[in-house]
Amino acid sequence: MSIYLHKSHNISVLIYHIVCPTKYRRVIFSKEVDKALKDICIEIGKRYEIHFLEIGTERDHVHFLVQSVPMYSPTKIVRIIKSLRKCQ
């Protein structure tokens, strides 16, 4: 469920559907990888103003339903998701 993001000068509801296939469409997503991916996404949400509404994995790709503020372009959101790893 999306929420209205209230800032000092605006209210926004920007939702993006992002699909990330694996390289050569190889089958890599198992239950362990799915859990690790969701944990990483929770950490990303804590650091940035990105809210993951849904995360779904198939065997060879992953779907993200992401809500963010207007100052993050879709390209920047994808770059953040793909570049960060779990902090130790």
Q: How confident is the model at residue 3 (pLDDT cuts 50, 70, 90)?
A: confident
CA angle (67, 71, 77) in 5-degree steps = 50
The span from the CA of 79 to the CA of 37, in Å, is 15
The domain ranges of the chain are 5-83
Half-sphere exposure of 45 (CA within 13 A, CB side): 15
Closest-CA residue to 80 (of 57, 52, 53): 52
What is the separation of C-alpha 29 from the centre of its chain, rounded to a whole number of angstroms? 16
CATH 3.30.70.1290 fits 5-83, yes or no: yes
Q: How confident is the model at residue 88 (pLDDT cuts 50, 70, 90)?
A: very low
- What pTM value is reported for the model? 0.81
pLDDT (tens digit per residue) in 37-54: 999 999 999 999 899 999
